[in-house]
Amino acid sequence: MWLGEAVVAHNRQDAERVQLLPQGCHEVVKEPVLPGRGQERELEHPGIVLTSFALVASGPIAFPSVPSDAAADDLQVTSAELANVRDGSPERFVPGMMRGQLIEADHLARYHWASQFASGKRVLDAGCGAAYGSTLLAEAGADHVVGVDLAVSVVEAFASGTPPNVELEVGDVRALRHDDGAFDLIACFEVIEHVEDPRAVLDSLHRVLAPGGVLVVSTPDRDATVGRNPHHLRELTRDELAAALSERFAHVRLLRQDSYLGSAILPEGASLDAALDTATVRSAGSVELDVSSYVIAAVSDAPLPDSTPLLGMTSRLDFRTMQQTLDAYFAVAHAKDQFVHELQERVGDRAQLQEQLLAAENKLVTLPELAQRLAELSETSAEEIRVLTERVNRAARVLRDVQSSPSWKITKPLRSLKHLLGA
C-alpha cells in the first residue's frame, strides 16, 4: 500500500520526492548538509516528511512546525532527529521546528527571565540542547557562556552558529569537567527529569557554582503532568524540588510557570516588539490552579538578587500555516489508519496461515502411527495370503489325485448318466 509522497528538501528550492511504502526500508533520502552531517541514509520507519509544511513524521508519529528563516530551513529535515521526537514528545526544543507553539514560549521565556542575571557573568548553560538559550544569555551581556549537552549530534549541529563568546561542548552535567566555582550563573532548564537521580545533577552544579553565584533550574511539576513523557526518567513535585534544593543552598526562591493564549492589537505596520513598551495587557480571567505546569527555582548560598516577572510570547501565529499543519496532521493520521488497516489484514492472514500450519503439523504427528499401522496390516495380509495360497495349492493337489485315481475313472459313466438324468 502506498502511503504518500514525501518532500525531503535541503531548502525550499532544492527538493527531492520519494514514495514511502509501509515497509519503508529501501527508500534513500538525501538529508540537508549540516556541519559534518551531510549523508545519505535509508529510512528506518515508514512516514511522511513534508518540509513545505515543516511537518516531520516518522511512522505514526508526527511533529508539526512552522517554516521559519533560511537558517532554520536547513534544519527542517533533521529537526526530528535533533528534537528526538518519541511518542509525539520531543526530547529537546528546536526553535526552527517549533515556531508559533506554546513550547516555544515556555522554553524561550525561561532564558529571557534568567538573562536578567547574566550581565558580566561567567555562565553555564547545563543541558544546552540547540544552544538558543546560550545565545540569549550571551546577547544579554554575559562575559562568557559554556553550553554543555550530552548529545554529540546536537552540539555538532549548532556549534558553528553561536556568538563568539559562546562555547559548546559535549559533556554530562552529572560529572562536569570544570573547576570548582567556575561559573557565576548556571541555567539548568528541563534537564533534571531526564536522569534517574536528579540530586546528582544538583550536586554537580553546586560544585561548579561560584560563592554567591546563582543557579536557576526548572522542571515539570509531576502533580500537573498530563500523560507520560517517554524521555523523562524521574519527575519531581514542587515540594520535592524545594526540599532537594534546600539541602544544598541557603536561599531558595520558587516561581511558577504557566502557559496562556493571547491576542495582540497593533497599529498598521507596527511591530510587536516596539508596541510592547506601551501596550496594555489585559487578562480574560482564568481559574487559578493549585499547581503550575513548571516549577522554576533560583537558588544561591548568598541572598538572591531581585528579579522581575516575565511574560513570554510565541512567534506570530499564521492561521494559513496552522491550517496546512492541521491538514498535514490529518494526512499523517489517514496514512497511519491505512497502514494499521493493512497490518491488521496481514495479521489476519498470518493467523489463518498459522491455523493451516498447525493442522498440517498435527497430521505430521499422526503419520508415524499411520505408517506403523499400515506396516502391521501389510504383514497380517501377507500371512493370510500365504495361508490361503497353501490351502488352494493343497486343494489343487487333492483334486488332481482324485481325478487321476482308478475309482474316478470307473465312476465316470455314472457321473455322465447322472448329468443326463439331471438335465
pLDDT of residue 42: 33
- Dist. CA 374–CA 241, nearest whole Å: 80
| 73 CB-contact burial (10 Å; exposed 0-12 / middle 13-18 / buried 19+) | buried
SS3 category, 374:
helix
- Which architecture characterizes domain 100-260+290-317 according to CATH? 3-Layer(aba) Sandwich (3.40)
pLDDT of residue 242: 93
Q: What is the pTM of this model?
A: 0.58
Q: Where exactly are the structural domains of the chain?
A: 1-85+318-389, 100-260+290-317
pLDDT of residue 135: 94
Buried b (16+ CB within 10 A) or exposed e, 204-228: bbbebbbeebbbbbbbbbbbbeeee
pLDDT of residue 56: 33
- Dist. CA 124–CA 111, nearest whole Å: 12
pLDDT of residue 297: 92
SS3 category, 5:
strand
Is the Cβ–Cβ distance between 274 and 281 less than 8 Å? no
pLDDT of residue 318: 67
- Residue in this structure with the C-alpha cell 497502514, named with its chain if needed: 339
pLDDT, one tens digit for every residue, the chain (423 residues): 223 333 333 333 333 333 333 333 333 333 332 333 333 333 333 333 323 223 333 333 333 333 333 333 444 335 556 666 555 566 666 676 666 677 787 888 899 999 999 999 999 999 898 888 999 999 999 999 999 998 888 888 788 888 999 999 999 999 999 999 999 999 999 898 888 888 999 999 999 999 999 999 998 888 777 667 677 767 888 899 999 999 999 999 999 888 777 788 888 888 777 777 777 877 777 666 667 778 899 999 999 998 888 777 777 766 676 677 677 767 877 888 888 888 888 888 888 888 888 888 787 777 787 778 888 888 888 888 888 888 888 887 877 777 777 776 777 777 776 667 765
